[in-house]
Structure 1
Amino acid sequence: MILDLDIGNTLSKWRLKERSSNQIKARGAVWTHEEWRPGEDIPDLGIVEVVRISNVARSEVLIETVGMLSKRVMSVHVARSESEALGVRNGYEHPGLLGVDRWLGVLAGYRLSQGCVVVDCGSAITMDIVLPGGEHLGGYILPGLRLMKESLRLNTRNVPIDPDSEPATLRVPGKKTLDAVGHGVYMTAVSTIDRLYAEACDRYGAVLPLFVTGGDSEIIARGLKMPHAVWRDMVYGGLEALFPVTQNECNGQMTGAPVVPPVESLEWLRKGLAFSSLL
């Protein structure tokens, strides 16, 4: 079995993958801490042969995690942001400072489509751009849905936007404070993503596939006007690409990867930008 760990600052996700069949056998999430309890927080390590780790939590968490796993598992791989990997050249001035979850998303997207825009909708919303040919241009970071609500200090922080809401409902003016905040936050997120995506394609003269990942990917993606694909396991896809174990992975396949989304013409995007600049 292969255990993939996506360790975040507050929440850590895991996925158990069968090596022979490439099937996902189990998955889960726990609050991030330094001492894991095999069989409770994560699967029983007696059945695990390989562990692949993405970590954006404190370095102490990674040190303790790797130390524990190395005593019980044959092979432990830790992803790190590098200056270049799998044909992608990291666009950060100091490559190691790019969040490894973003780096893995870029690697997965590039492996699938040879140039793309990756939007990760979590505590923060990040956007990364990589051109055909592998040049990572850097990206953008803005507050996620919950952080935007918290910033207004209107006692709405613990009331999430209903993930089953229809985009048309969230686009209209709210008739009570709770709805006004939720709709405003939602429109800020989707409008910013649409705009930044269109501007990036216009600036670099390339219409790129758009992938959306992260915990809020489903609700945000439904409101986007730009063609896109939701890829919830994008970090895991990056781990598969960087540390291939199964035959399918060695052949470049990533479990759960979506069909590459269609793209609009550059002319269509530029017309939209020209119109919006008049508003």
Structure 2
Amino acid sequence: MILDLDIGNTLSKWRLKDADSSEIRSRGAVWTREEWRPGSDIPDLDVVEAVRISSVARRAVLEETVSLLRRQVGVVHVARSTPEALGVVNGYEEPARLGVDRWLGTLASYQLAGGCCSVDCGSAITIDFVLPGGRHLGGYILPGLRLMKESLQLGTRNVAIDPDSEAEELLLPGKRTVEAVNHGIYMAAVSAVNRIYSEVCDREDVALPMLLTGGDARVVSRGIQVPHAVWPDMVYGGLEACFPLTAAERAGKMSGAPRIPPPVSLEKIRAALAFSMLL
């Protein structure tokens, strides 16, 4: 089995992948902590032959995790943000400072779609762009839905946005404080993603496909105005591309990769952008 770990600042996600069939056998998530308890927090390491790790948590968390795993697993791969990988040139002035989850998402989306806009809707919403030739432009970071809600301190933090709500409903004025908060932060998030996408495509003279991932991708997706796909395993896809361990991965296949809808024309993007500027 292959254990893939996506360690965030608050939540750590894992999945077990069959090394022979490339099938995902199980997955889960635990709160990120510096001291891990084998057995209760992570899968049975006796069946694991290799581990791949993406981590944006504190260094102590990563070091403790790697130390635990290397005592029981023969192969441990830790992803790093590099100046260049898999045909993509990192757009950061200091490439190592780009969050590795963003880097892996960018690499995965580029392998799947070529030039792409990748949006990670987690604790923060990150938006990264890579052009068809592989030049990563950098990106944008804004508060995620939960962080925006917590910043208001109105006692509504535990009332989540219903992921099954229609976008039209979430964009209406709220008639209770909880609704007003949820609809307001939703409007802020989807408006930012839509506007940033249009501005960058206009400036770079290219219409890019869009991929969404992260815990809030499903609900944010409902308010995105351009064709896009949701790929929950995008970061894992980056790990697969960087450290291919199965026959399918070595052939370029990434787990759960969606069909990419073609983007709308650049003319339509510019027309919508021009209209929004008139309002």
TM-score normalized by the length of structure 1? 0.98
**1:208 is aligned with what amino acid?**
L
Matched, 1:103 2:82: no
SS at match of 1:277: helix
User: Residue in 1 aligned with 2:272?
Assistant: 272
- Inter-partner Cα distance in structure 1 for 2:34 and 2:175: 45
Residue 36 (structure 1) shift: 2.3
**4+ runs deviating over 3 angstroms:** none
**1:166 is aligned with what amino acid?**
E
**2:277 is aligned with what amino acid?**
S
Residue 181 (structure 1) shift: 1.1
Deviations for 1:191-249, whole angstroms, at most 9, x for unmatched residues?
A: 11011111111110111110000000000001111111000000000000000000110
**2:34 is aligned with what amino acid?**
E
User: Residue in 1 aligned with 2:204?
Assistant: 204
SS at match of 2:107: helix
**2:133 is aligned with what amino acid?**
G
User: Residue in 2 aligned with 1:80?
Assistant: 80
User: Residue in 1 aligned with 2:64?
Assistant: 64
- Inter-partner Cα distance in structure 2 for 1:244 and 1:97: 24
SS at match of 2:12: strand
Deviations for 1:168-198, whole angstroms, at most 9, x for unmatched residues?
A: 1101111111111110110111111011111
- 1:218-229 counterparts in 2 under 5 A? 218-229=218-229
User: Residue in 2 aligned with 1:27?
Assistant: 27
- Inter-partner Cα distance in structure 1 for 2:146 and 2:200: 26
Deviations for 1:75-120, whole angstroms, at most 9, x for unmatched residues?
A: 0000000000001000001001100000000000001011100000
Residue 38 (structure 1) shift: 2.9
User: Residue in 2 aligned with 1:46?
Assistant: 46
SS at match of 2:270: helix
- Inter-partner Cα distance in structure 2 for 1:5 and 1:103: 15
- Inter-partner Cα distance in structure 1 for 2:82 and 2:35: 27
- Inter-partner Cα distance in structure 2 for 1:36 and 1:164: 34
SS at match of 1:163: coil
User: Residue in 1 aligned with 2:263?
Assistant: 263
- Inter-partner Cα distance in structure 2 for 1:205 and 1:45: 49
Residue 150 (structure 1) shift: 1.6
- Inter-partner Cα distance in structure 1 for 2:268 and 2:23: 40
**1:101 is aligned with what amino acid?**
D
Residue 153 (structure 1) shift: 2.1
Gaps of 5+ in 2: none
Residue 159 (structure 1) shift: 1.4
Task: Say which is worse superposed, 252-261 or 149-158, in terms of deviation.
Answer: 149-158
User: Residue in 1 aligned with 2:6?
Assistant: 6
SS at match of 1:159: coil
Residue 272 (structure 1) shift: 0.4
- 1:134-145 counterparts in 2 under 5 A? 134-145=134-145
User: Residue in 1 aligned with 2:191?
Assistant: 191
User: Residue in 2 aligned with 1:166?
Assistant: 166
- Inter-partner Cα distance in structure 2 for 1:185 and 1:91: 29
TM-score normalized by the length of structure 2? 0.98
Aligned length: 279
- Inter-partner Cα distance in structure 1 for 2:260 and 2:226: 13
- Inter-partner Cα distance in structure 1 for 2:38 and 2:75: 16
- Inter-partner Cα distance in structure 1 for 2:58 and 2:88: 26
**1:190 is aligned with what amino acid?**
V
**1:23 is aligned with what amino acid?**
E
User: Residue in 1 aligned with 2:119?
Assistant: 119
Residue 144 (structure 1) shift: 0.5
Deviations for 1:142-162, whole angstroms, at most 9, x for unmatched residues?
A: 010111112222221221111
- Inter-partner Cα distance in structure 1 for 2:196 and 2:264: 15
**2:139 is aligned with what amino acid?**
G
- Inter-partner Cα distance in structure 2 for 1:135 and 1:33: 35
- Inter-partner Cα distance in structure 1 for 2:220 and 2:19: 33
User: Residue in 2 aligned with 1:93?
Assistant: 93
